Amino acid sequence: MGILHWLFSWETLAAFLTLAIFSFLYKENPVYRLAEYLFVGLSAGYGFAMTYFLAMKPNLMDPFIIPIMQRLHLLGGELLPINWWYIIPTIFALLYLSVITPKYSYLIRLPFAFLLGLGSGMAIPRAFQASILEQMWDTILHSPNWQGYAELSKQYEWSLTVVFISAIIIFVSVLAVLAYFFFSKEHKGAYGKFARFGIIVLMIGFGASFGSTVMARYSLLIGRLMFLLKWLHIVSY
C-alpha cells in the first residue's frame, strides 16, 4: 500500500517529468519532446485562467462589461454599479479580439498604440531620472557634504579612505566605459588609451556577472536534485 501510494502520488509524477527533461542531456528523445509540449500547453492554460480571474474580470469586466450584461438580463447575480468611464478601455480591449478575423486584425494596432504610446511617454522622464540623473549625481558627487561620505562609510563598513578612493575609481571608470561606447570619436591616442581602460573595466564587470551567474545556475540544479532525493526519501527537506 505504501509503495503503491508513493508510486501514484503527485511527487512521482513530478519526479518522472523531471527525469524526462533531464533525459535531454543524453540526447533529444520523444519523452523529452512530449514533456516540452505539455509544458507549453499547461503554461498557456494556466496563464489564461489566472489572467481571467485576477486581471480581466476584476479590472475590466466587473466595472463595465458584467454590469451592462446584467442590465440586459444576460447575466444574473447581485447588480454591480456601472463605471461609465470604463467604456473607453473596454472598446480598446475588445479590439484585441479582432485577431480572430484576419480581415480586421489590423484593428489590434489601436490597443497596441494606446499602451505603447502611454508606456513610452511615461518612461521618458522617469528613466531619465532613475537611470541617468541619479546615477550621474552619485558618480560625480555622491554627496555635497562630508556627512554623506561618512554615512556611506558606515553603511559599507569601509574606512573613509577606502570610500574616497573608491569614489574616484568609480568616477574614472564610468567615464572610461562611456568613452569606450562613444564611437563618434576615433579610439586613438590618449582617448584611445582611456577607452582601452574602459574595456578593462568592462571585463571586470563581466567577470563579476559571470561569477554571480554561476551560483544561480548551480542553485537551479541543486533545487531539482534536492527534490529527487526527497522523493526517494534519501533526505527529508
Partner 1 sequence: MFFSRTLPMILVFVMGVIGASLYFIPHPSAQALENTLSQWSIAIGSFAIFLAITSLIRRYITNIKRGKEVVYNLVALISLFGMALLGLINGTGPDSVFQKIFINVQVPLDATMFSLLGFYVTSAAYRAFRARNVEATLLLLTAILVILGISTIGDSQTWLRDLQEWIMNVPNLAQKRGITIGVGLGMIATSVKIILGIERNWMGG
Partner 2 sequence: MSFWEKLSKLPRFWIYLGLLIVMILPIVLKIKAHPKMGLETRLVYDYIDHMKPGSVLLMNFTYGPSSMPELHPMAKAVMRHALLRGVKVIGMSLNIEGTGLGLDVFNSVAKEFQEAGHPLQYGKDYVYLGYKTGYAMVIRGIGGDFHETFPVDYFGHSTSDEETMPLTARIHNYDDIDLVIDFSASGSGATWITYAYQQFNQKIAIGITAVMGADYQQYIRTGQLVGLLNGMKAAADYEAAVAKLMEKELHYTPPPYATVGITAVTWAQLYLILMVIVGNLAFFMIRKQQRRRR
Task: Enumerate binding residues for partner 2 (CB under 8 A).
Answer: 25, 43, 46-47, 50-51, 53-55, 58-59, 62, 118-119, 122-123, 126-127, 129-131, 134-135, 137-138, 142, 152, 155-157, 205, 208-209, 211-226, 229, 234-235, 237
The nearest distance, CB 175 to partner 2, in angstroms, is 15
d(C-alpha 65, C-alpha 83), whole Å: 10
d(C-alpha 176, C-alpha 165), whole Å: 16
The nearest distance, CB 147 to partner 1, in angstroms, is 20
List C-alpha distances in Å: 214 to 43, 47, 208.
27, 30, 10
SS3 89: helix
153 binds, among partner 1, partner 2, none (CB under 5 to 8 A by kind): none
Nearest to 67 by CA among 77, 76, 57, 80: 80
Question: Is there a contact between 129 and 123 (Cβ–Cβ < 8 Å)?
Answer: no
Supply φ then ψ for residue 212, to 5 degrees: -70, -40
Q: Rule CB under 8 A: which of 106-125 touch partner 1?
A: 106-125
**Which cell numbers hold the place of 4?**
503503491
The nearest distance, CB 11 to partner 1, in angstroms, is 7
Question: Is there a contact between 14 and 224 (Cβ–Cβ < 8 Å)?
Answer: no
The amino acid present at 83, given as its one-letter code, is N
The nearest distance, CB 70 to partner 2, in angstroms, is 17
146 binds, among partner 1, partner 2, none (CB under 5 to 8 A by kind): none
**Which cell numbers hold the place of 3?**
509503495
234 binds, among partner 1, partner 2, none (CB under 5 to 8 A by kind): partner 2
The nearest distance, CB 185 to partner 2, in angstroms, is 26
Query: Which one of 28, 29, 50, 84 is in contact with partner 1 (CB under 8 A)?
Result: 50
Q: Is 29 in the site for partner 1 (CB under 8 A)?
A: no
C-beta closer to partner 2: residue 185 or 209: 209
Q: Is 68 in the site for partner 1 (CB under 8 A)?
A: no
